[in-house]
Amino acid sequence: MADGNDSGNGRTTLGERLSGVGERIRASEAWESIFRPGSPFRKGYSDSPRNRSYVVMNNVLYHLHPVKVKRHGVRLSYTLCLGGLSFFLFILLTITGIFLMFYYRPAAPEAYIDIAALSTDVAFGQLVRNLHRWGAHLMVITVFLHMTRVFYHGAYKPPREFNWVVGVVLLFLTLLLSFTGYLLPWDQLALWAVTVGTNMGGYTPVFGDQVSFVLLGGIQVGGPTLLRFYVLHVLALPFIIVIFMAVHFWRVRKDGGISGPL
């Protein structure tokens, strides 16, 4: 071996030692227990039809996809990636939202103080808050556009009727998530936008007052409403929407993958 390398003095170079370490790590039992047989992280990736399948099969996220899809489904112009982007925005909102939760107390004046402090005292606080807010608005838009693209492709027709219904639930949950989040900064915009919005619930025939009371935790938007919306926003609604998303993605595949071509 020694005569093969350029250093010429018969000693192993640093690069060789490092790659030796890498090989030993990859051969170790611990490494092999983490990455499934056939994973590119075990033997490295070389392009072959077999390895192309392994990439998808050996990663839990990629495995949302089948190994192969219809050729037209890959064309950007077919789905415009809108469903996938809605999902990506949801993930982004979850991550930025967890960050925001570290600095936020869901109580009547504290919430506002915390958000104001977040904008000035916390490193990247303002940026993360901006990402969370604009991402949320964008998600409402992408979900809506995704729905219209599904409609114009007639992709709700059998066998996909039920997945369309699941989608409508997802649209409704997305709106609710956005709306409950709107109250959390506890500024004038939040308070009065939510007041106007929840007033509509109060017009429910027969038990409008009860609906409004349950929604607000009182007769008008106040501290209890803030806590209520907070729990809905950070826990209850995300929990429910994740379940519906799981069903949605599962059905896309069970119903035979992407619809079409037109």
Partner 1 sequence: MAEIPEHLLRRSAEAKAKTLGVPVEQIMAELGGESVPAAAPAAAAAAPTAPAAAPPPATPTIPEGVRTQRMLTVVKAKAIQGAKRKPTDKVNVWPHLLAIEFVALLVVMGLLIVFSVYQDAPLLELANPNEQPNPSKAPWYFLGLQELLSYFDPQVAGVLIPGLGLAGLALIPYVDRTRSIRPTDRKFAIMMFTFFVVASAILTIIGSFYRGPGFNFTFPWRDGIFFDL
Distance in angstroms (rounded) separating the CA atoms of residues 197 and 179: 9
Nearest approach, Cβ of residue 32 and ligand HEM (Å): 33
For ligand HEM, which is the closer residue by CB, 175 or 219?
A: 175
Nearest to 56 by CA among 43, 73, 70, 69: 69
Could you say which of ligand HEM, partner 1, none residue 192 binds, taking C-beta under 5 to 8 angstroms by partner kind? partner 1
Q: How many residues does the chain have?
A: 262
160 is a site residue for ligand HEM (CB under 6 A): yes
DSSP code for 67 = S
- With CB under 6 A as the contact rule, the residue among 93, 118, 150, 221 that binds ligand HEM is 150
- CA–CA dist 210, 223 (Å, integer): 18
The two tokens of residue 133 are: 């807010």
Q: What is the rounded distance in angstroms from the CA atom of residue 171 to the CA atom of residue 44?
A: 41
Which region among 5-13, 15-23, 88-96, 230-238 touches partner 1 (by CB under 8 A)?
88-96
Which span (22-30, 42-50, 144-152, 185-193) binds ligand HEM, by CB under 6 A?
Answer: 144-152
Q: Which 3 state secondary structure label does DSSP give 259?
A: coil
216 binds, among ligand HEM, partner 1, none (CB under 5 to 8 A by kind): none
| Cα 65 → chain centroid | 16
Contacts to ligand HEM by CB under 6 A: 79, 82-84, 86-87, 143, 146-147, 150, 153, 155-156, 160, 163-164, 167-168, 170-171, 174, 245, 248, 252, 258-259
